[in-house]
Structure 1
Amino acid sequence: MRIVSGYLKGRRFSPPKNFRARPTTDTARESLFNILANIIDFESVDILDLFSGTGAISFEFASRGANSVTLVEKNYHHYSFIRKCIDELELNEVIKPVKTDVFTYLDHVSDQQYDIIFADPPFDLKEFEKIVPAVLDRNLLKTDGIFILEHGPDKNFSDFANFNQQRKYGKVCFSFFGNKPEE
């Protein structure tokens, strides 16, 4: 895997072969960040990355100069790999990793708001449909904030509150909620 843009562009990191996360592909990540580059100033945003897996999304935001990135991952092996990458990429000042369950984190975070919340849960997560209300009902997004949910093509969130659009890249879809990304 590689960081596709920013001051860390081209830096590679490789999860162990027995890693169980399904990382967002480089192509899908690059497409997502091209959309975001047209609507936000990366250097002024606070990010929440839920179900972080490899940490790739957090690394992309940090590489582009994000103000702060909080990432949440409960799997010990994934969290350890992310911590190792944060150290190697010297991102300790920007990225704050939290090792806990996403729903537990959302239940206890109350004094922080984010410009962008990104969630990439396992596609087979039983509570998948609960993620959108779990995020949007807690007032975690700033006024013009964006919530982005990565999911498979078998899911449709267009009937959910604050849904704006869906983008599809192969077997990966991104549903946007909140501030509408430009076409």
Structure 2
Amino acid sequence: MRIITGIYKGRHFDVPRTFKARPTTDFAKENIFNVLGGYLDFDGITALDLFAGTGSISLEMLSRGSAQVISVEADRDHARFIAQCMKKIGADNNLLIRGDVFRFLKSCHQQFNLIFADPPYALEQLTTLPDLIFEHDLLVPEGIFVLEHGKDHSFESHPHFIDHRHYGSVNFSLFR
């Protein structure tokens, strides 16, 4: 896993083979971040990474200038790996929360410029995520929510849907 661009550009992290989480491919990550660059300036934003997995997205957001990134990951080993990666780059503006994403969303009272969710594609509640984000008012005005998902889901009829991108088998739906 590597950081594509920004202040930590080119840094590599070896993801343990035992991990269930699959980091977003470099190709898909680079492309979706290029798309996001057209919607927002990463410099100084507050971001939320749900189902943080390996921390790849959190690291990329920090590298591109996010002032604060909150990473939510339930798995103990994955959370430990994210903490180690953050320590390696010396990032002190990442708040790692080890816990259930749905519980976090229901109790969160902060708003974010960018929310990125990369849940397991087979997650039963995957389709409820856009509604939860907007019901709990977690985005600032003009904020963006990105949901990574498999090809079996379409969110184009959602009232906050603005864009869909796919790179190979990776799909991203964007909401505002």
TM-score tier, shorter chain, comes to over 0.9
* Displacement of 1:33: 1.0
The count of aligned residue pairs is: 176
Q: What does residue 96 of structure 2 align with? A: 97
Q: Are positions 1:3 and 2:3 aligned together?
A: yes
**Quick one: distance in 2 between partners of 1:115 and 1:73?**
20
* Displacement of 1:39: 2.6
Structure 1 gap segments, 5+ residues each: 179-183
Q: What does residue 142 of structure 2 align with? A: 144
**Quick one: distance in 2 between partners of 1:128 and 1:88?**
32
* Displacement of 1:41: 1.6
Identity %: 43
**Structure 1, residues 70-104: CA drift from partner, whole Å, max 9, x if none?**
0100011110110111111111x211110010000
Q: Alignment RMSD, CA only?
A: 0.8
Moved over 2 A (4+): none
**Quick one: distance in 2 between partners of 1:39 and 1:134?**
22
SS across alignment from 1:84: helix
* Displacement of 1:47: 0.2
Q: Name which of structure 1's ranges 35-44 and 63-72 shifts more when overlaid on structure 2.
A: 35-44
Structure 2 gap segments, 5+ residues each: none
Q: What does residue 52 of structure 1 align with? A: 52
SS across alignment from 1:165: strand
**Quick one: distance in 1 between partners of 2:168 and 2:152?**
12
SS across alignment from 1:124: coil
* Displacement of 1:65: 1.1
* 1:18-37 paired onto structure 2 within 5 Å: 18-37=18-37
**Quick one: distance in 1 between partners of 2:128 and 2:42?**
28
* TM-score normalised over the length of structure 2: 0.97
**Quick one: distance in 2 between partners of 1:136 and 1:66?**
22
Q: Are positions 1:170 and 2:172 aligned together?
A: no
